[in-house]
Amino acid sequence: MATLARDILGQEVDPNDHINCGQSSNDVIPTTIHVSAAIGLDGMLLPALQHLAETIRDKALSIDRYVKTGRTHLMDAMPVRLSQPLAAWATQIEQNIAHLKALQPNLQRLAQGGTAVGTGVNAHPEFPALFSREISELTGLDFAPAANFFAHISSQDIAVAVSGQLKTTAVSIMKISNDLRWMNSGPLAGLGEIELEALQPGSSIMPGKTNPVIAEAAAMVAAQVIGNDVAITVGGQSGTFELNTMLPLVAQNLLSSIQLLANVSHLLADKAIATFKVNELKLAEALARNPILITALNPIIGYAQAAEIAKQAYREDRAIIDVAVEQTDLSEQELRTLLDPAKLTEGGL
């Protein structure tokens, strides 16, 4: 219920005639979406993603000496250093950081001052700039009036764009989480290449079983953010003439995505990536039996003969070097040099 207050001079102050003079919920709510999302990006999500990227880089350096079987289509492929897929993860996160930062200038342009439909009716001409200046001082971010109030009131294109990049970030986190789950699978019947930190008993019926709960939580966050983006997309296209009527939906889902991604980025960094252990014996066993190493001999013996050697090694469950010694003119020492998994991670002929 509207109430009357009295200012220091004793004059009655009316909530509609005075306090609400020069503004409307039609420009206040779009402004609130932009300000709150900008604060969330700058203060929560971007620092969290930076922490995740740095943690991955640090972990990659510490495990660079390990070589593992690479996989394409989930099948054995040429070897990689364990640090190389992690460096790819870090690059994904760093690219997301750069793309989110590129959206900040538009996000920090505000609808405030457009009032009911974008014309600025009932607003003092200096109000938009003064408002943005005050918000900038309060938050430490560089806010400014929108170049076109009509666009910021009738549409939510900028929020949709930010959500789209949040979705891309979620896709990156889903990929990282799934890689961690696969590498951790087992420990006996799966890949068992790494051991994620055991944070809780994973089964109420199978003693000793632990599950990759942080990676799974991160995957669920990613799924939710992707779903939020769909809702925001529908909300964004619901601007009709001079007003978008789905602003509450856009606000709720956008801010939820920012907070979810920020929280899970810290967890993924601190409770999964920083703390996993490498199963060196498992890596070495898989490499020793990987017939795909024969790919390195393609320039020497040709693709066809290399394929036959690989098939024979698969068929007879033998080391690739043993079969290659029998089927080529190369000595065992030459083959060990040519098929050294660590050297094969460096590329070239």
Backbone angles phi, psi at 13, to 5 degrees: -115, 120
Tokens 């590129």 label which residue? 102
How many whole angstroms separate alpha carbon 314 and alpha carbon 306? 12
Backbone angles phi, psi at 345, to 5 degrees: -80, -5
| Closest among 51, 158, 173, 60 to 109, alpha carbons compared | 158
Respond yes or no: is residue 73 known to be catalytic: yes
| Contact between residue 46 and residue 100 where contact means Cβ atoms under 8 Å apart | yes
Q: Among 73, 136, 152, 331, which one carries the catalytic annotation? A: 73
Q: In the chain, which ranges are continuous DSSP H helix?
A: 25-40, 46-62, 83-107, 127-139, 149-154, 157-184, 213-236, 247-268, 280-288, 298-301, 303-316, 320-327, 332-338, 341-344
Q: Among 25, 124, 203, 331, which one carries the catalytic annotation? A: 203
| Contact between residue 202 and residue 209 where contact means Cβ atoms under 8 Å apart | yes
Catalytic residue numbers, as ranges: 73, 203
